[in-house]
Amino acid sequence: MRKIKKVFISTALALAVTALGGCALFGSPQSLKPTLINGTTAGNIQNFGFAVKQDEIIFLYYTNGDLYQTGDIVKSNPETGENSLAMHDGGLYMSVYDANLYYCKVDGIYRASMDTFESERLLEVDATQLQISDGKMFYIEDGVINSADANGDAVDFIPIAGAECLNVYENKLLYIDSATGQIWQANTDSSDQKMLFDIDAKQFLILEGVFYYMDNADNNIKRIAEKDAASEIVVPYACSGFNINAYGLYYTREADGKWVCCNADISGKNEQIIAENGESKRHLVCMFDGSAAILGEEEFRIATE
């Protein structure tokens, strides 16, 4: 059973903080509607838990460098470029709910008031992919989806085994069956589990009801919107990761012997290379509305079981 445990990047996150001060806009939709209902307005899964946004302020998990300690949560104002320390000893898979910052460490799920940043451990679990919806936490531990309320107390929920790539969307749990690559859905109390798309996905995201996914067979990025419909190829290249919002699609692929981060529209057209990363095979793209911060990763390591 495969489980994404933690993601580590060796590039100093200070570079990302600086980049956020001068993010470019890609496209100009008339309006944006949050599509991931997780307490962060599409800021948890789409930002891989490294960054969340509260009002107009962005909070980032610091990986390494000289300005702060590894694991610090850095507060950044993208308008002024001003950065400051929010708290020491934070964690990944961050989410914001009810004026509290939730995050995961290897020994549990924690909560910290965004007024004082004093933290408390709510659950003693090694959790990943934490999301919050309607006052409930949803997370994966050892390939099993579990749930608790926002205080860490038990709720009526039967664990869902063999799952990865959890998304909470429009009051549904959506996840990949780790044995088949199929996308499944269930109610937020884990009832009515059923296969949604008979595909072989290794990662997926949702934008306005359309499922964008990376195919296990060829690593192309494809999309599908209706059950039993045919998938459409969006990016006809082998990719190592991708991200999407209403302003565009971001992905990493090889071009002329180099790994590059590309931006295209949500149909995969009008591609432009926006970052080169040499031998590194992946970028991390954090997005908030029309802004994108590109973190080039010299080392990208995923511990699996």
Cα separation values, 51 from 91, 96, 215, 249, Å: 10, 10, 26, 18
Per-residue model confidence (pLDDT) at position 280: 63
85: its two tokens: 């320390």
- Asked if residues 73 and 59 have their Cβ atoms less than 8 Å apart, the reply is yes
Q: Residues with Cβ < 8 Å from 192, sequence gap 6 or more? A: 186
Cα separation values, 181 from 184, 204, 216, Å: 9, 10, 8
15: its two tokens: 């570079």
Distance between CA atoms of 233 and 32, rounded to whole angstroms?
24
Per-residue model confidence (pLDDT) at position 292: 61
Q: Report the chain (305 residues): mean pLDDT per 10 consecutive residues.
A: 32 33 29 38 57 81 80 86 91 88 94 95 94 90 97 97 90 93 96 96 88 95 91 95 83 87 92 76 64 52 27
- Per-domain residue ranges of the chain: 7-231
Give 78-89 pLDDT, tens digit per residue: 778 888 999 999
**Identity of the amino acid at 163:** A
- Asked if residues 203 and 211 have their Cβ atoms less than 8 Å apart, the reply is no
Please report how many Cα atoms fall inside a 13 Å half-sphere around the Cα of residue 7, on the Cβ side: 23
Say if pTM beats, i.e. exceeds, 0.75.
yes
> What is the CATH number assigned to the segment(s) 7-231?
2.120.10.30
Phi–psi pair at 16, nearest 5 degrees: -70, -40
Per-residue model confidence (pLDDT) at position 51: 81
